[in-house]
Amino acid sequence: MIDDIKQDADHRMHGAIEALKRELSGIRTGRAAPALVERLVVDYYGAATPLNQLAGVSAPESRLLVIQPWDRSSMSAIEKAILRSELGLTPNNDGHVIRLSIPPLTEERRKSLVRLVRAKVEEGKVAVRNVRRDAVDNIKELTREHLIGEDDERRGLHEIEALAKRYVDEAERLGQVKEAEVLEV
């Protein structure tokens, strides 16, 4: 029973870290990366559609993103979505593709992005801690119902704690890597 709880907690904590990775990939650094715009939602004929389902996104240069819509009639909707986003980028449309020039980040913008990275990392750590709390509650419930002994309870709690620490450390490491990317000039 404890192994099931531990396995479930491991799966959920892994999911929290994967969500954190996706969140961090969408934060802008000094380099152009297709992940910046892939999750952008475009109002395409009244339906909210992710950009990666409407167009191919590539980064031919370190400071340029090229968005090639599969349907040219969606270009204006994609441009509007980019302008509405928090990216702070202006699309350049030549009729065939949309180019996004990535300007170098100012020091002030870098600092605000570092704060954003830290906030996302903290959200990820909170998600891991919430999973830990649920697992600990489940183990204590098994003890209250006399389905496991106190020794098993202590062992299970120790394993859950170690698991949570491993994932919190991983979230911290991901945050440090992203901060270094953002601060890189």
pLDDT at 9: 92
- Tokens in use for 174? 């991901």
Divide the 185 residues of the chain into consecutive groups of 10 and give the mean pLDDT of each group. 88 92 78 77 86 86 86 86 80 86 81 88 94 92 88 91 94 91 77
Number of H helices, E strands in the chain: 5, 6
CA distance 51 to 63: 20
**What domains lie within the chain, and their CATH numbers?**
2-25+106-183 (1.10.132.20), 35-101 (3.30.1360.40)
pLDDT at 79: 87
Q: pTM for the whole thing?
A: 0.71
- Tokens in use for 143? 């003890």
pLDDT at 93: 86
pLDDT in tens, 41-88: 888 888 888 888 888 888 888 788 888 888 888 888 888 888 888 777
